[in-house]
């Protein structure tokens, strides 16, 4: 599990790294935010390294970078604000 877990993505134009709050009881980190339904790309920055979540689907950005994706519907493509096992 990472100590410092941050999240960025197409939902904020990749402009800001948002901190996720740790939950010591579960070993996960979370970020709650309201996003309009849609499709989003995102990536975690964990302890100074860009990481993909292996349990989330992936896609390529316009620049050809492999990132995670979220389908924007509950239960479809994961939850971009929940970083399990990071």
Quick one: pLDDT at residue 73? 55
Query: What are the tens digits of pLDDT across the range 4-26?
Result: 999 999 999 999 999 999 999 99
Q: What are residue 58's DSSP bridge partners?
A: 68
Q: Where are the domains of the chain?
A: 5-70
Please give the residue that has the higher pLDDT: either 36 or 51: 51
Compute the CA torsion angle 27, 52, 47, 28 (nearest 10 deg): -10
Quick one: pLDDT at residue 49? 97
**CATH class assigned to 5-70:** mainly beta
- Calculate the average pLDDT of the chain: 85
Please give the residue that has the higher pLDDT: either 36 or 77: 36
Task: State mean pLDDT over 66-75.
Answer: 77
Which letter does DSSP use for residue 10 in this model? G
């Amino acid at each position: 599990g990472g100590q410092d877990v941050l999240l960025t993505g197409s939902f904020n134009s990749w402009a800001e790294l948002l901190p996720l709050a740790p939950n010591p009881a579960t070993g996960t980190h979370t970020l709650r935010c309201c996003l309009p339904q849609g499709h989003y790309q995102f990536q975690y920055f964990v302890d100074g390294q860009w990481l993909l979540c292996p349990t989330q689907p992936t896609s390529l950005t316009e620049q050809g970078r492999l990132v995670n994706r979220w389908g924007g519907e509950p239960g479809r493509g994961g939850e971009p604000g929940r970083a399990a096992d990071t």
